[in-house]
Amino acid sequence: MNNSIIAPSVLNANFLNLKDEITAIEKGGAGLVHLDIMDGHFVPNISFGPGISALIGKATTLPLDCHLMISNPELFVEEFARIGSHYITVQAESTWHLDRILNRIRELGAKPAVSINPATPIENIQWILDLVDMVLVMSVNPGFGGQSLIPYCLDKIRKLREMKPNLDIEIDGGIKLDNILDAKKAGANIFVVGSAIFKTDSPETTCKKFVEKVR
């Protein structure tokens, strides 16, 4: 298994002060910047697109972890590859041609990843696990920050870790200081944290606490 990584989600950051917020998580030891891309169609919320993502990429030396919670992701993977995304994650439920789009992401020079919603069985992606560098297990229903972790999603991570011992497994949703070790014990090694970092008085200090917790 790879090292544990904290990937703060800027969806919960103060966008009027975004550069400082990103600097804070860099100083706090974050390993990735997680970008939640939402279209108001696949999920019931709208966030931002490749333009803002490109600006975020210019504001940080951290790799970009782009999670496309959008319909028809095949229409946008080239744009997100062009801005230098490290991971491009597509929802398994968002496309009929998952094999094709994952191969295309790798052709474009990014690391392909797949995400599954809480109610989606692990078995739905078992045949494409050799095509991805990471699986993102959603532990809340996607669309909004600040939700509570759905406990059965940890069982999905345990099963996935058994299926693919060396895979990077990311968890996103409801991760707090008091449950992150449960997620790590289940088998996750990349942890998306949003409001639990950015809605505190010192995102830098809080990010350090998360990094130390999973070290």
Whether the pLDDT of residue 153 is over 60: the answer is: yes
Sheet order of strands, 134-138 included: 5-8, 190-193, 168-172, 134-138, 111-116, 87-91, 64-69, 33-38
pLDDT, tens digit, 9 for 90 and up, residues 26-55: 999 999 999 999 999 999 999 999 999 999
pLDDT band at 146 (very low <50, low <70, confident <90, very high): confident
User: What's the CATH number where 64 sits?
Assistant: 3.20.20.70
Active-site residue flag, 130: no
Active-site residue flag, 36: yes
Total tally of structural domains belonging to the chain: 1
Residue range of the domain that includes 147: 3-212
Query: How far does the chain reach from its first CA to its final CA, in angstroms?
Result: 13
Tokens found for residue 103: 């191969």
Of 65, 133, 168, 172, catalytic:
172
User: Which residues face 66 on adjacent strands?
Assistant: 35, 88
* C-alpha–C-alpha distance, residues 61 and 38, integer Å: 23
Task: Record the pTM.
Answer: 0.96
Whether residue 67 is annotated as binding a ligand: the answer is: yes
